[in-house]
């Protein structure tokens, strides 16, 4: 079977679609293998080969050599077999070339469809491999159209999807507009690879700073964490490995030029740049800027902290609609509770009065207990005697006596269990943090070289609003 144009088609597919010649040849061979099975019997054993010198597809049918034929599709008798190869014996398998397969138009159409499908599959795999390794990069394309609220972005070789949830709220793109985005994920779907972009991810912010700040590119300055409320406000925490270089100043740039370029790309999003510190309380003070912090009490096990501010600093610490404290919580990875100094003093006063209902607890002891988080009698009975003993400088037996007095009073119903008060704290919880490659490199020796590009670390969840490098 001769196809005078087969070689040209193979070469053209390779040039136009970037598919290696061997892949196209294999697709053609598989297509005619399927066609041969349908035409000559699916129970038969066949082989197809592309003969490049003759530009021809050769089809071979393999049959078992037997004395008496029962199934002519898979068997050939010895005498007929010897006409083809005089050295064969019973039990051998003989490959017989089908010289004139006489494929019908339907057969050829079936083969063509299979070839095109195999080529499409190969294209998808090539595109998937090409863009998969670019996850985590900035990428630029042209907006082409809207589909169900999502923007289809032309990247040249493929289209990407910028979903409505990944677009900054104040943005409005038109077909033909240039779009820069963060390539967050490439997944294989039934329709081929889907390239997903984001302009709301905190990593988009990080990548923009990497482009604008050479010191970040060469590793002199490291972005340790970032948090965003897209289109409104963002915070990044930076540190310099060179003590002579100010990390905040380097990111701001001369007359604010570097940070302004990032702000322009993010549609005017206000960006706070703060210095990172290994001491979480020091870091929290920077993260809550521009407010001034009076006192911080941290619970590292619970990943939370109580922050005390003066009354005139409360609105600054909280920010508009709680934005400042939310971003600070994302940046530090801690739940942050903010309370004014006046409110805290009132809260402590009520707690002291509540605790002094118990025999053995005077004003001084009640004040000490509030410092370790025992704010009412309910907290007291849930505290270990050893902890009370250590805090108040008492014998364990004395602490046990205080706990028994509290328990007896509760059972008798003769005391107020907890002070009646409204919620005084303004709280913000940290969202799940993204652990990046910088920290992962530092931990590889400890965990046996764990792959820093594991699935959990590659994927940003749609609701992720911050990433953190501890």
Percent of the chain with pLDDT over 70: 84
Whether 23 and 99 map to the same domain: the answer is yes
- The parent domain of residue 18 ranges over 6-122
Lowest mean pLDDT among 214-218, 270-274, 391-395: 391-395
Whether 108 and 153 map to the same domain: the answer is no
Number of domains within the chain: 2
∠ CA 322-328-331 to the nearest 5 degrees? 140
Summarised one tens digit per residue, pLDDT across range 287-318 is 998 888 888 888 888 888 888 888 888 888 88
Domain end, chosen from 169, 198, 227, is at 198
Whether 26 and 101 map to the same domain: the answer is yes
Tell me the mean pLDDT in the region 438-446: 34
Whether 179 and 139 map to the same domain: the answer is yes
Q: Which residue from 351, 339, 347, 361 is spatially nearest to 418, judged by alpha carbons?
A: 351
Domain end, chosen from 59, 94, 122, is at 122
∠ CA 224-226-231 to the nearest 5 degrees? 160
CB 317 within 8 A of CB 291: yes
Whether 184 and 141 map to the same domain: the answer is yes
**Exposed/middle/buried for 216, CB within 10 Å: 0-12, 13-18, 19+?**
buried
- Strands 192-198 vs 178-189: parallel, antiparallel or unpaired: antiparallel
Higher local confidence (pLDDT), 463 or 395: 395
Whether 57 and 160 map to the same domain: the answer is no
Domain containing residue 164: CATH number = 2.40.50.140
Tokens of 280: 């979480």
Summarised one tens digit per residue, pLDDT across range 408-432 is 888 777 676 666 454 445 556 655 3
DSSP string, 411-438: HHT-S-SS-------EEEPPPPPPP-HH
The reply to whether 47 falls in a domain is yes
Whether 11 and 110 map to the same domain: the answer is yes
Virtual torsion, Cα 23, 454, 284, 370, nearest 10 deg: 150
Task: Classify 210 as helix, strand or coil.
Answer: helix
Domain end, chosen from 164, 198, 232, is at 198
The reply to whether 39 falls in a domain is yes
pLDDT mean across residues, the chain: 80
Whether 24 and 113 map to the same domain: the answer is yes
Whether 116 and 186 map to the same domain: the answer is no
Domain containing residue 48: CATH number = 3.30.1480.10
Virtual torsion, Cα 432, 436, 440, 442, nearest 10 deg: -110
The reply to whether 86 falls in a domain is yes
Phi, psi of 287 (to 5 degrees): -65, -30
Whether 36 and 68 map to the same domain: the answer is yes
């Amino acid at each position: 079977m001769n196809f005078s144009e087969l070689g040209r088609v193979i070469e053209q597919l390779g040039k136009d679609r970037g598919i290696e010649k061997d892949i196209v040849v294999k697709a053609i061979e598989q297509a005619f293998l399927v066609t041969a099975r349908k035409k000559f019997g699916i129970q038969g054993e066949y082989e197809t080969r592309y003969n490049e010198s003759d530009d021809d597809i050769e089809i071979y049918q393999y049959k078992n050599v037997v004395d008496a034929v029962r199934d002519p599709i898979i068997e050939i008798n010895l005498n007929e077999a010897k006409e083809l190869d005089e050295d064969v014996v019973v039990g051998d398998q003989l490959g017989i070339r089908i010289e004139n397969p006489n494929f019908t138009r339907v057969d050829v159409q079936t083969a063509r469809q299979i070839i095109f499908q195999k080529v499409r599959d190969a294209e998808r795999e090539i595109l998937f491999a090409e863009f998969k390794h670019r996850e985590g990069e900035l990428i630029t394309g042209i907006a082409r159209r809207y589909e169900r609220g999502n923007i289809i972005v032309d990247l040249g070789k493929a289209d990407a999807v910028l979903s409505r949830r990944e677009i900054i709220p104040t943005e409005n793109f038109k077909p033909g507009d240039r779009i820069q985005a963060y390539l967050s994920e490439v997944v294989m779907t039934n329709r081929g690879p889907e390239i997903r972009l984001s302009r709301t991810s905190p990593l988009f912010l990080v990548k923009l700073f990497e482009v604008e700040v050479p010191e970040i590119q060469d590793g002199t300055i490291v972005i340790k964490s970032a948090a965003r409320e897209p289109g409104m406000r963002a915070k990044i925490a930076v540190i310099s490995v060179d003590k002579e270089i100010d990390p905040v100043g380097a990111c701001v740039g001369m007359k604010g030029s570097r940070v302004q370029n990032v702000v322009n790309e993010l549609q005017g999003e206000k960006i706070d740049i703060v210095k990172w510190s290994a001491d979480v309380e020091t870091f929290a003070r920077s993260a809550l800027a521009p407010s001034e912090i009076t006192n911080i009490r941290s619970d590292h096990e619970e990943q939370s902290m109580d922050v005390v501010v003066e009354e005139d600093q409360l609105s600054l610490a909280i920010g508009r609609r709680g934005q400042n404290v939310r971003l600070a919580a994302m940046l530090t990875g801690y739940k942050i509770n903010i309370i004014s100094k006046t409110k805290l003093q009132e809260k402590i006063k009520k707690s002291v009065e509540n605790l002094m209902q118990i025999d053995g607890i005077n004003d001084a002891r009640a004040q000490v207990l509030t410092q370790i988080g025992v704010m009412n009698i309910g907290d007291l009975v849930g505290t270990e005697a050893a902890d009370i003993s250590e805090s108040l400088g008492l014998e364990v037996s004395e602490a046990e006596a205080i706990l028994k007095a509290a328990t007896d009073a509760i059972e008798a119903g003769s005391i107020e269990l907890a002070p009646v008060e409204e919620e005084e704290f303004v709280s913000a919880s940290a969202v799940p943090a993204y652990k990046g490659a910088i920290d992962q490199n530092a931990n590889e020796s400890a965990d046996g070289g764990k792959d820093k590009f594991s699935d959990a670390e590659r994927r940003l969840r749609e609701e992720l609003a911050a990433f953190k490098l501890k």
